Structure 1
Amino acid sequence: MNMNANALASSQTATKPVILTGDRPTGSLHIGHFVGSLRNRVSLQDSHQQFILLADLQALTDNMADPDKVTSNVTEVALDYLAVGIDPGKTRICLQSQLPALSEMAMLYLNLVTVARLERNPTIKEEIRARGFERDIPAGFLCYPVSQAADITGFRATVVPVGEDQLPMIEQTNEIVRRINRQTGRDVLPETTALLSKTGRLPGIDGKAKMSKSLGNAISLSASPDEIDKAVQQMYTDAGHLRVSDPGKVEGNVVFTYLDAFDPEVDEVATLKDHYRRGGLGDSMLKQRLSSILNEIIGPIRERRYELARDLGMVRDIVRDGTQSAQELTQATLDDIKCAFGLFRL
């Protein structure tokens, strides 16, 4: 390990817990990302040494036929990060494909994991089913958990914010860490802990489990007031709530799901739920309330994003600087792993 990298690693691990998070840059981010991870990242950047990874290589595991979709969205996602309040002075934004140490780590880790173990990973099994791969699984996609383990361990992250569906990824990462430490007889890498979001995955405005820009059921962080209002008006509520006087169902009602996620007046939302269940509360009033709340949240983000987009060179410089810092840290980690395994050096 060189002196600069050693100093960098020591300063980060000695002062604040290291947190790694990130996104696949396959499209601009939406309010599902905001409530699920982005606002949490903003709050964590003061108490943690935080790295956000633009996982462009992982995005290629199922987008290799259209790599432009990935590369063109790197800057778009970085813009979203900055617009919601990610401070590059506190949080390093870095590009996965420019961190070669992570790829080398993943190659080493592949020798510690069986194909059978990868196929048993519940998250991968579900994603394979959802994409209809059957046995035509891209090898890179099947090995996604190993790549993610390299990302986490490369930064020596001890905290990783995830949704509940990603817990198997954290478990597999820690399995690899334990095997490395046991086999080398050294505590080379730390285990990591999952930090679960307080808000579950937000459904699309059509009530479907997955929110996606490509499915047309998401609200972008750059949405205009008219776009927000239109999206809220399209939201699924309760098909049996035909008249204002009719009792309505709260469970599965997308408007209430969004109010739970975004409305700061928790007690008022609880009162509205009781009223809706009894009858006498119309969908239009609820949608007006939600639309107003979303406009208050998205409006400032949209304006900041617009200003930042006027200087894309500055945005790229932020990613470049963050990536350079990450290069030193991840290379230092790789050097430690190689040394522990006694790999031959010229």
Structure 2
Amino acid sequence: MYAERVLSGMRPTGRLHLGHYHGVLKNWVKLQEEYPCLFFVADWHALTTAYDSPQVIEESIWDMLIDWLAAGVDPAQATLFIQSRVPEHAELHLLLSMMCPLGWLERVPTYKDQQEKLSEKDLSTYGFLGYPLLQSADILIYRADKVPVGEDQIPHIEFTREIARRFNHLYGREPGFEDKARDAVKKLGSKRARLYEELRVRFQQEGDEAAVEQAHAMLEEAQNLSLGDRERLYGYLEGSGKMILVEPESMLTEASRMPGLDGQKMSKSYGNTIFLREDDESVTKKIRTMQTDPARVRRTDPGDPEKCPVWQFHVIYSDDGTRDWVQQGCRSAGIGCIECKQPVIEAVVKEQGEMRERAQPYVDDPSLVRNIIADGCERARKLAQDTMRDVREAMGLSYG
């Protein structure tokens, strides 16, 4: 099988806020410790909805990258790059579009949702209809087997799996595939070859998924197989061709519990955000003026933390002791709202200070970010070119 690899991207739509940090970036920082990760700026994706105002994209890219670095994304551990600097994404997208049924794109749930949500824009464009396929190309070009997504994005990963399956089925049949696969079985040695044949029959005739897992484990242990033979045996096992594109799995990420200053979802369009790297004075002012439980008109009125947006900040930022103090003090009117907000202000200001400190070298010298991206694009491009070599060959496009 191909190596484990995580891929995730973000559209450049302006400055990032705490919702992005708790919803995505914190998770990226954790993932980069555990897997080889590729994180990219999805600038072509931004064009699917902002095609008429591309200047926003350019302004946002470098700011967004500094926000990633400020949040702790580490270029020594993960590959950071910009989608449009790896033109192979576009080539794979084009080739996949030749075999992608139109109905599959129209069925993607976000297609109708987004059209309704952004009804003021003309989204009856080819690019908007095709963006799930571009997203599939982004994943498949790196043979990434893990994609961290929220629940609303799961249909996109399912769609990508179907595209990979259809591609492998259509183009994974190299000339003489069956003969080559049978020769590869012999290389397993008689005992393993017998087991492989049994497992193959169990899967193809009885649909036994456990047989596939067992066979995969056995093939991974087989030392004397070339990568090509191993791929042939995976394909032969499941009755498809050689596996050229890898079917990714969704890694479900916890939804961000970070509310906006008014208790709604944090979003620039609601004007309820705290941006990453915001200065202390501004953060303090925003949290101080947050609305609280409407029942607490006077300082002496008891309140209910569950009805107060500030409590949701305590859930994220405070320890158990502080949370108990809030619950008790608010319900008994023992503490006032300003007192209650103080620990939150201190925690957010501390976190922001650390982010500003990490970001400072890049703010002082923007060429550092550009160098990180140049290196990342080069690394990403090598991986993309390997995949495209196999894709072109499978589709009969590698003319001598």
TM range (shorter): 0.7 to 0.9
2:236 alignment partner in structure 1: none
1:93 alignment partner in structure 2: 80
Give the CA deviation at 1:152.
1.0
Instruction: Write out per-residue CA displacement over residues 200-232 of structure 1, whole angstroms, 9 at most, x where no aligned residue.
Output: 3533223333512x5432111110111111221
**Structure 2 SS opposite 1:21:** strand
2:367 alignment partner in structure 1: 313
Distance 2:113 2:322 in 1: 37
Give the CA deviation at 1:87.
1.7
TM-score of the aligned structures, taking structure 1 as reference length? 0.86
Are 1:19 and 1:48, in contact at CA under 8 Å, matched by a contact in 2?
Answer: yes
Q: Does residue 1:237 correspond to 2:224, yes or no?
A: no
Q: Does residue 1:290 correspond to 2:380, yes or no?
A: no
1:68 alignment partner in structure 2: 55
**Letter aligned with residue 70 of structure 1:** I
**Structure 2 SS opposite 1:62:** helix
Q: Does residue 1:193 correspond to 2:180, yes or no?
A: no
Q: Provide closer, same or farther for how the CA distance between residues 134 and 298 of structure 1 changes in structure 2, counting only shifts above 3 A.
A: closer
1:330 alignment partner in structure 2: 384
2:117 alignment partner in structure 1: 130
Identical columns (%): 34
2:20 alignment partner in structure 1: 33
Q: Provide closer, same or farther for how the CA distance between residues 189 and 292 of structure 1 changes in structure 2, counting only shifts above 3 A.
A: same
Are 1:248 and 1:278, in contact at CA under 8 Å, matched by a contact in 2?
Answer: yes
**Letter aligned with residue 93 of structure 2:** A
Q: What root-mean-square deviation, in Å, do the aligned CA atoms of Structure 1 and Structure 2 show? A: 2.4
**Letter aligned with residue 308 of structure 2:** N
106-115 or 323-332, which moves further after superposition?
A: 106-115
Are 2:5 and 2:37, in contact at CA under 8 Å, matched by a contact in 1?
Answer: yes
Q: Does residue 1:166 correspond to 2:166, yes or no?
A: no
**Letter aligned with residue 149 of structure 2:** V
Give the CA deviation at 1:92.
0.9
2:140 alignment partner in structure 1: 153
Give structure 2 stretches of 5+ with no counterpart.
173-240
1:253 alignment partner in structure 2: 308
Distance 2:398 2:6 in 1: 32
Distance 1:247 1:199 in 2: 31
Distance 2:383 2:49 in 1: 28
Q: Once superposed, which parts of structure 1, at least 4 consecutive aligned residues long, lie more than 6 Å away?
A: none
Q: Provide closer, same or farther for how the CA distance between residues 277 and 94 of structure 1 changes in structure 2, counting only shifts above 3 A.
A: same
Structure exhibiting the larger radius of gyration computed from Cα positions: 2
Distance 1:117 1:274 in 2: 54
Are 1:159 and 1:193, in contact at CA under 8 Å, matched by a contact in 2?
Answer: yes
**Letter aligned with residue 261 of structure 2:** I
Q: Does residue 1:227 correspond to 2:214, yes or no?
A: no
Are 1:20 and 1:52, in contact at CA under 8 Å, matched by a contact in 2?
Answer: yes
Give structure 1 stretches of 5+ with no counterpart.
1-9
Q: Provide closer, same or farther for how the CA distance between residues 54 and 136 of structure 1 changes in structure 2, counting only shifts above 3 A.
A: closer
Are 1:186 and 1:340, in contact at CA under 8 Å, matched by a contact in 2?
Answer: no
Instruction: Write out per-residue CA displacement over residues 129-174 of structure 1, whole angstroms, 9 at most, x where no aligned residue.
Output: 2111587433212222111111111111111112222222212111
Distance 1:138 1:280 in 2: 58
**Letter aligned with residue 290 of structure 1:** V
Distance 2:378 2:66 in 1: 19
Instruction: Write out per-residue CA displacement over residues 99-158 of structure 1, whole angstroms, 9 at most, x where no aligned residue.
Output: 111111112222343343323322233222211158743321222211111111111111
Give the CA deviation at 1:81.
1.6
**Letter aligned with residue 87 of structure 1:** D
Q: Provide closer, same or farther for how the CA distance between residues 54 and 281 of structure 1 changes in structure 2, counting only shifts above 3 A.
A: same
59-68 or 132-141, which moves further after superposition?
A: 132-141
**Structure 2 SS opposite 1:45:** helix
> How many residue pairs end up in the alignment?
331
